[in-house]
Structure 1
Amino acid sequence: MSGTDRQRTQSTSPYEASIGFARAVRVGSRILVSGTAPVEDDGSSTDGDAEAQAERCFAVIVRAIEQLGGAAEDVVRTRMLLIDAADADAVGRAHGRWFADVRPTATMVVVAGLLRPEWRVEIEAEAEVTA
């Protein structure tokens, strides 16, 4: 498949241009969403606890999927990276609000740290559009 068969979307992350990545890429019916941190439209970090940050991550993820012709219902996999296992229930609640009816496969892991020290969570997603 050639590069012209790919669709990409960007977000307001200050890292996309400097690191050289897209928020999401669609190839055929598959949409892959990059690790999404709690970044506001102005590039600042989302205030609040892990649950509030996860809500922001999911909002950015679903917006990217929608920009590429998908929907939250098309999500088949999520990966949640936490800096503290104590945040698992809070991040899980946010996940449930977005995907309780979808029930994608999901992985939640604890990592040593994320790019900005105020971030408590970063999330990836994959969707399969079945129009």
Structure 2
Amino acid sequence: MADDTVQRTASASPFEAAFGFSRAVRTGNRILVSGTGPIEPDGSSTLGDAAVQARRCFAIIVAAIEELGGSANDVVRTRMFVTDAADGDAIGAVHGEIFGDVRPAATMVVVAALLRPEWRVEIEAEAELAG
């Protein structure tokens, strides 16, 4: 893929079209995944605890990366925004399930709120594909 080629992918998030952004963008060998909340295919929020919501976020993220030619093994950075520090261990455990062997650079930040009040986590990711 030439470095000047840009590919984009979308998900079920109702915010993408309304706010004018892509779920993920690939430019060259780099894939950037936007902040991803726990959204179901019908646009509703994923119900459940922080671990359930984190799994949904990571499923959306990995699907976007795969659609653009990468895999979970290509992830080099994640950023997790959580609304309650008490959820950190549960979210971190899910991160470990998915990226335990990959071990990307990772950040977890506690924030006052996310876009929907029922969200406990929102996650970004970056992937770098070989050669």
> Considering the TM-score relative to the shorter chain, is it more than 0.5?
yes
Question: Secondary structure of the residue that 1:21 maps to in structure 2?
Answer: coil
- Matching of residue 51 in structure 1 with residue 56 in structure 2: no
CA-CA distance at 1:72 after TM superposition: 0.2
Cα distance in 2 for partners of 1:62, 1:110 equals 23
Moved more, 69-78 or 4-13: 4-13
Q: CA RMSD in A?
A: 0.8
Task: Please tell me whether residue 27 in structure 1 is matched to residue 4 in structure 2.
Answer: no
Letter paired with 1:9:
T
Whole-Å separation in 2 of the counterparts to 1:7 and 1:43:
23
Q: Give the Cα–Cα distance (whole angstroms) in 1 for the partners of residues 40 and 128 of structure 2.
A: 26
Match of 1:64 in 2: 64
Aligned AA (1:104): P
**Aligned equivalents of 2:125, 2:79: Cα separation in 1:** 6
Amino acid at match of 1:62: V
Post-superposition offset of 1:37:
0.2
Matched with 2:97 is 97
Q: CA deviation at 1:100?
A: 0.2
2:11 match: secondary structure: coil
Give unmatched runs, 5+ long, in structure 2: none
C-alpha distance in structure 1 between counterparts of 2:129 and 2:62, whole Å? 13
* Structure 1: runs of 5+ lacking an equivalent: none
Matched pairs, number: 128
Alpha-carbon separation, structure 1, partners of 2:101 and 2:130? 16
Once the two structures are TM-superposed, the CA of residue 15 in structure 1 deviates from its matched residue by: 0.2
Runs of 4+ in 1 over 4 A off after TM superposition: none
Residue equivalent to 2:87: 87
1:106-125 to 2 correspondences below 5 Å = 106-125=106-125
User: Share of identical aligned residues, percent?
Assistant: 70
Q: What is the letter of the counterpart of residue 128 of structure 1?
A: E
Q: Distance in 2 between matches of 1:19 and 1:64?
A: 18
